[in-house]
Structures are given as C-alpha cells and as structure tokens.
C-alpha cells in the first residue's frame, strides 16, 4: 500500500477510474478520488449495483422476470486490483485506471463477473502446478467517421489524401498512410505500460493488427480492453473512427482475436507442450483434442454476437473448422513452427468482438477438459482445411443452444455465470430478430 501511495504521488494522480468489464467486455465502473485506494477497506468500500453484469450490448437489462434478485439490484463490493494500476493516456492529467474485481457482501467472488471467471480457470491450472501463457493478436479497422449506423463504414483518408480501394496485406506504404494514428497508439500504450509488440496492415482497407507479448492471461485480457479504448480515442483525435466488430464491412476481411496458448510448469517454467526432443507431448495432444471436442460447444465465448457468425465463412480469411495442423492458417487450430520453448497452439476462432476474459477462459477450459478426459487430437489436417466439413454452429441461436447443453463447459464456467450469460445473449438475439434489414426490404418488399 505504501508503494501505491508513493506511485500516486509521483504520478500526481488525483482520481482513478475503477474499471469493471461486463459480459460483453464493455468497461463499466466508477471514478473515485485517489485517496480512496489507500483507505482501509472498511472505510473505503466501492459499491456498484450487480445489474452492471445484466446490461446487454443494446443497453437493455437481461434479468429474468422470475428472478427477484434482478429487481432488488443489490450492491457488489469492488476490490481494485492494484497490480493493474496505470496512468490514463490522452488528455486526462491526474487520472489513472485500475481494474476491479466484484464480490458479494460476504466477500465471495461475484459469479457473473468475467474477470472472476478467468481467474477461477487459471486457478484450475495452478492446482495442477501449471501456469497458462497466452499471446493475443487483435485486428481492427480504422474508418471514416460513421455517425449514421444505417450507412456502411467507409475507408479512411490517409496521409496521401486518398482512401484505400484495394487489398494491401502487410503493405508498408499502406501502413504509413496512418502513421500519425499509429504513433499516437504507441505513445498512449507507453504511458499506460502496455507491452505492445508488432503492428501490421491486414487485408482490409484500413485494417490493422496488433500483437501482444505473451504472458499471464488475466493481465493480457486487461491489456486488450485498455488497448481497444486507447485505439478508439487515438482515432477520434485524428478525425477517424475505429471498430473491433468481427465483420464491419461486407466486402472486406473480417477481424479476429487469435489466441496463442501454451502451458508451463509453474516452478521450472518449462513448456509442457513439448519434450526435450522438441516433439509434441501427450499433454499437448490432449489439450488440442479438448479444443477440437469442446470449442464447437462453447462458440458463444468466441463468437458472442450475431455479427460474429458473418465472419466464420469459407474464403474470408477466417476458420470454419476445429482442425489442427502445423503452420496452416486454413485450420481453426494452428501449431506455429517452433522449438520446445515456443510450442503452442493458436486458437483462430475468436473474433475481435469477443470478450477477452471469456475467450481466454473458454480456450483454457476446452484444453483442460481434453487433458482431464484424456482426449486425443485427430490426425493433422490436409493442406486446405477449408475442404473439411465444419462442425461449428452457423448462427448465434444454434451456438447458444449448444452451450446450454454442454454440461462440462457449463460446470467449469460456473452455472450461475452460464445462466446469466445465456440469458443476456438471448435478450440481444431477440432484439436483433425484431429488426427488419435493408436486405429484406430490397428483395421482399416488391417481390414476395
């Protein structure tokens, strides 16, 4: 606590945003005066209504009519995770960010909090003497301002005064078109101590990808949400917009959040996915087998929105299967070329719109179940895995039904969390199904 006080003084912090990620990864919470972080817990309780975890992406509440607690809306206690404390970048002098964990009044973890869900999954590994390691790759679009949601996003104007009109994967000049925004992103990240790695121009017009350095899943999930926030702010500062939708533009590539995963011995730090001879371990085979068996049942954790399933289609630079192979990007599960120290599997199924806590928790749960059940991975996929029949759900409705019926995944997520998550996603789905689209008016209005 003394170190925290010293840090707040050195950084001249007067107020702190206490951040609570909700079911969709939307940051909710409160702004508190900095001294509140230093006061004894009994004197500095930070409260937040539990309905914060019932808010759908539309802003509607998802509490069930027969759930009395949904109407009582009791307070949760927020416990700041001081290890996540960092300065706020941008035009916010004297402000900092801190992530907070939610607890009931009896100090038990709030079961519907995604951050708590990921922590509980990490603890499963810790109980076995293991430590999961992850590295996300996150894609997003810079676009022209898009104040009217009925109009598709347009490509942004770059330094040349022109908008991109063709694909520019890995193009350096295309990347340079947005150098002022990129410089601002890295500047803000440095202020916030986000350890970003490389950035590239992806296939779409104005589409970029950032790589995060590998590390602890919880810290990286925090970093992904802070990164999304700083990118949106940096884009606005330069007269642009930024989106992490899975499929924001019909004719352009989709945006993903690939997750590289390995498991190491908690004491020695040795990678358990390969042996001294660099050959895949039995544990690795079982982990991949678990992903193949359970990812199709847990897809709402990786594709949480109606729009997510517009991404998961053949020939759109997105996987449509849970096949595995070495260094093959047509597979949902790719094993990059590596020696033992870097042996890992890349889950290519999550979209950029996924809640990072839930996508990471879901990936680790599926792999853990494979180890617990002794599942073997299927034979390595052929060169073009797009030809393999997909076992994934095609719609959010199907995906929610599968998760509801998958008891092993439900159990490890927690029944209370799973019920609340499914209820919230059902509210969003019903809201979407009540909207008449332009496609329907175009093709049915005068013909049906």
Domain range annotation of the chain = 123-413
Tokens 């309780």 sit at which residue?
Answer: 45
Q: For residue 383, what pLDDT band results from cuts at 50, 70 and 90?
A: confident
CATH of 123-413, one of 3.40.50.720, 3.40.47.10, 3.50.50.100, 3.30.590.10: 3.30.590.10
Q: What integer is the mean pLDDT of 330-350? A: 94
Q: For residue 1, what pLDDT band results from cuts at 50, 70 and 90?
A: very low
pLDDT for the residue numbered 125: 98
Average pLDDT score, the chain:
93
Query: How many Cα atoms occupy the beta-carbon half-sphere of 18 within 13 Å?
Result: 22
pLDDT higher than threshold 70 for residue 162 = yes
Q: What integer is the mean pLDDT of 92-116? A: 94
Burial of 420 (0-12, 13-18, 19+ CB in 10 A): buried
β-strands 333-335, 345-347: how paired? antiparallel
pLDDT for the residue numbered 38: 84
Q: 275-305: string of b/e by CB count within 10 Å (b at 16+)?
A: beeeebbebbbbbbbbbbbbbbbbbbbbbbb
Inter-CA distances, 108 with 76, 203, 266, Å: 10, 46, 26
**Could you give the percent of the chain with pLDDT greater than 90?**
85
pLDDT for the residue numbered 92: 79
Give yes or no for a contact between 112 and 247, defined as CB atoms under 8 angstroms apart. no
DSSP 3-state helix, strand, coil percentages of the chain (rounded to 5)?
Answer: 35, 20, 40
Window from 165-179, 220-234, 305-319 with minimum mean pLDDT: 305-319
Burial of 235 (0-12, 13-18, 19+ CB in 10 A): buried
Q: How far, in Å, CA of 434 to CA of 442, rounded?
A: 17
Q: What is the largest CA-CA distance in the chain?
A: 72
pLDDT digits (tens, 9 = 90+) for 206-240: 999 999 999 999 999 999 999 999 999 999 999 99
pTM: 0.96
């Amino acid at each position: 606590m003394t170190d925290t006080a010293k840090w707040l003084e050195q950084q001249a912090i007067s107020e702190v945003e206490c951040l609570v990620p909700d079911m969709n990864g939307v940051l909710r919470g409160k702004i508190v005066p900095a001294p509140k972080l230093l006061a004894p817990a009994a004197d500095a309780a930070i409260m937040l209504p539990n309905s914060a975890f019932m808010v759908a992406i539309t802003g509607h509440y998802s509490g069930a009519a027969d759930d009395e607690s949904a109407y009582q809306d009791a307070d949760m206690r927020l416990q700041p995770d001081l290890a996540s404390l960092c300065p706020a970048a941008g035009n916010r002098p004297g402000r900092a960010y801190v992530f907070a964990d939610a607890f009931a009044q009896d100090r038990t973890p709030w079961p519907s909090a995604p951050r708590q869900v990921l922590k509980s999954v990490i603890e499963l590994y810790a109980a076995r003497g293991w430590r999961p390691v992850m590295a996300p790759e996150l894609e997003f679009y810079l676009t022209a301002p898009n104040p009217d949601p009925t109009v598709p996003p347009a490509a942004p104007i770059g330094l040349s005064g022109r908008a991109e009109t063709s694909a520019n994967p890995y193009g350096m000049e295309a990347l340079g078109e947005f150098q002022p925004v990129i410089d601002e992103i890295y500047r803000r990240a440095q202020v916030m101590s986000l350890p970003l790695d490389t950035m590239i121009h992806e296939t779409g017009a104005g589409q970029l990808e950032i790589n995060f350095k590998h590390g602890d899943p919880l810290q990286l999930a925090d970093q992904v949400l802070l990164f999304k926030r700083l990118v949106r702010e940096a884009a606005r500062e330069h007269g642009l917009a930024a989106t992490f939708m899975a499929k924001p533009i019909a004719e352009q590539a989709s945006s993903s959040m690939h997750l590289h995963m390995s498991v190491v011995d908690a004491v020695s730090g040795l990678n358990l996915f390969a042996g001294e001879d660099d050959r895949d371990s039995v544990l690795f085979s079982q982990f991949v087998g678990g992903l193949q068996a359970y990812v199709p049942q847990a897809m709402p954790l990786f594709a949480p929105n109606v729009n997510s399933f517009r991404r998961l289609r053949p020939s759109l630079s997105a996987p449509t299967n849970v096949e595995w192979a070495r260094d093959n990007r047509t597979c949902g599960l790719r094993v990059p070329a590596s020696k033992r120290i870097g042996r890992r599997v890349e889950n290519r199924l999550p979209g950029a719109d996924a809640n990072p806590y839930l996508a990471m928790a879901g990936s680790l749960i599926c792999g853990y179940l494979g180890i617990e059940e002794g599942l073997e991975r299927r034979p390595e996929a052929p060169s073009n895995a797009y030809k393999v029949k997909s076992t994934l759900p095609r719609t959010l409705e199907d995906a929610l039904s599968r998760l509801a019926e998958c008891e092993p995944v439900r159990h490890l997520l927690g029944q209370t969390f799973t019920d609340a998550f499914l209820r919230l996603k059902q509210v969003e789905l019903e809201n979407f199904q009540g909207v008449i689209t332009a496609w329907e008016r175009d093709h049915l209005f005068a013909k049906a």
